[in-house]
Amino acid sequence: MNVTRDFTGRARVHNPGLPPGQYDAGDDWPVLSAEVTPDLTAADWSFRVDGLVERPRAWDWDEARALPGSEYAGDIHCVTSWSKFGVRFGGVSLDAFLDVVRPLPTATHAVAYAHTGYTTNLPLADLTGGRAWIAFEYGGRPLPPEHGGPARLLVPHLYFWKSAKWIAGIRLLDHDEPGFWEQNGYHARGNPWREQRYAGD
Amino acid sequence: MTETSTPRTRFAVPGRIAVSNRAAARWQTATLTEIRRETPRAASFRFAVPAWAGHLPGQHLMLRLTAPDGYTAQRHYSISSAPDDSGHLELTLDHVDGGEVSGWFHTRARPGDEVAVRGPLSGFFAWPGDRPALLVGAGSGVVPLMSMVRLHRARGLTVPLRLLVSARSPEELIYAREYGAETLPVFTREAPPGVPVGRLAAAHLAPVLAERPAGGWEAYVCGSNAFAEHASRLLVAAGQPVDRIRIERFG
């Protein structure tokens, strides 16, 4: 593409943590969700892991909070071009849940779904090995409802639409199955470093 | 589809509106042809995009500016024009304080300038003109809704369409000259003589929701997150089904 006449961009320092096409949102944390924020309290919340697993099960709030805690401190990246540096989420590693249900060898992918009905698909490998969390806290405080509280999925190495708010469950599959935004033209995986924004990228 | 895999949940996300995403992956050159001031802070920018695949009202695009050293800045913007076959489209941009891209548009851009666009993107917020539409917007949140109003008018559609638009003052009401009987403006800081000042309230929505068109309203809410939360809660409280509310939030 040609240079845009008279455009220089804001003063920039090279930030190796900024994926291509992204900008630093600073203190802002834009809210992006397509649906009405649900009235979902901790008492209403539950989280289920099933599909291709040995022992499907569901956790209520107290049961999930009783699992060993795990923090994520790092960056997040939204497909709408903002990135946010040095954020801190508190929760439970998804590995802790998967250790209980024991995925079958045939499980290759997952669909994460929210209490609103929102869905998003992920390769199982993106959810294991300490790369995904069920997050309950942000910056040491309960996760605000508009950001997915009381609990959201957190998969910070992928674009943030994969980190389903108001997470209700994860179903393990032997195939990939597009979720809500993926059916609306977004990329199946969404790796920010490869700029996998839309189908075809 | 996820129907086979995803259990029923308490809340529902509205179904998608099918659109082609073939064009979304490709950057195209858009040539600025016209700038129209709308309010002291907002202006409309018309572009020629000869190979534009067309869009549905409510869809957005991604726009990219490139600096001489290769640095790029890209943002999503809603399309304000109704789809037509002229090879043109329009965006309406607020001048955001310190805005890197909107700042360029408001202080540097002139007809003949070229930028890169890709799209149209996302069918979720789209309105194909086939169902009664209750549009609720605030500030520049009215931009994608105006595309719907313009389509409704251009095609002479008879399907019911109502627009509730919130602005701080008459001076800041985008597209003020274009509204007709379908629109109710709500002013939050300053209003014309005889018009009450106040934020969008249940009383504004009640008469529209009471109309109950055949098939019911599909509600489209667009604005800041604070406005989107407020308006969507009012709609739910007034009986609008949660799975018939589509929200586009400006981050």
Phi, psi of A136 (to 5 degrees): -115, -20
Burial tier of B1 (Cβ tally within 10 Å: 0-12, 13-18, 19+): exposed
Phi, psi of A144 (to 5 degrees): -65, 150
Query: Residue B76 half-sphere exposure, CB side, CA atoms within 13 Å?
Result: 22
CA–CA separation, A156 vs A166, rounded Å? 16
For domain B21-121, give the CATH number. 2.40.30.10
Cβ atoms of B204 and B164 closer than 8 Å:
yes
pTM: 0.92
pLDDT in tens, A164-194: 999 999 999 999 999 988 887 889 999 999 9
**Minimal Cα–Cα distance from A199 to chain B, Å?**
7
Instruction: Tell me whether residues B10 and A115 touch, CB distance under 8 A.
Output: yes
How many residues are listed for chain A in this entry?
201
- pLDDT above 70 covers what percent of chain A? 99
Strand partners for B47: B32, B89
Radius of gyration of chain B (CA): 18
Cα A182 → chain centroid: 14
What CATH fold (topology level) applies to the domain A46-194? Sulfite Oxidase; Chain A, domain 2 (3.90.420)
DSSP A56: -
Instruction: Tell me whether residues B7 and A169 touch, CB distance under 8 A.
Output: yes
Instruction: Tell me whether residues B24 and A198 touch, CB distance under 8 A.
Output: yes
CA–CA separation, B238 vs B244, rounded Å? 13
pLDDT in tens, B109-133: 999 999 999 999 877 899 999 999 9
Out of 3.30.450.40, 3.40.50.80, 3.40.605.10, 3.30.70.890, the CATH code matching B133-250 is: 3.40.50.80
**Tokens standing for residue B45:** 């920018």
pLDDT in tens, B78-105: 999 999 989 999 999 999 988 999 999 9
CA–CA separation, B66 vs B36, rounded Å? 23
Instruction: Report which of A197, A124, A135 is spatially closest to residue A164, judged by C-alpha positions.
Output: A135
Q: Which amino acid is at B174?
A: I
Cβ atoms of B247 and B134 closer than 8 Å:
no
**Minimal Cα–Cα distance from A73 to chain B, Å?**
23
Q: Is A127 helix (H, G, I), strand (E, B) or coil?
A: coil
Q: What is the location of CATH 2.40.30.10 in chain B?
A: 21-121
CA–CA separation, A6 vs A199, rounded Å? 32
Cβ atoms of B43 and B92 closer than 8 Å:
yes
For residue A183, the model assigns a pLDDT of 83
What is B197-208 written as a DSSP string?
Answer: B----HHHHHHH
What does the pLDDT average to over A144-162?
A: 97
For residue B32, the model assigns a pLDDT of 98
Domain-wise residue ranges, chain A:
46-194
Instruction: Report which of B106, B110, B153 is spatially closest to residue B133, judged by C-alpha positions.
Output: B153
How many beta-carbon contacts under 8 Å exist across A and B?
164
Is A104 an 8 Å CB contact of chain B?
A: no
CA–CA separation, B127 vs B24, rounded Å? 18
**Minimal Cα–Cα distance from B230 to chain A, Å?**
10
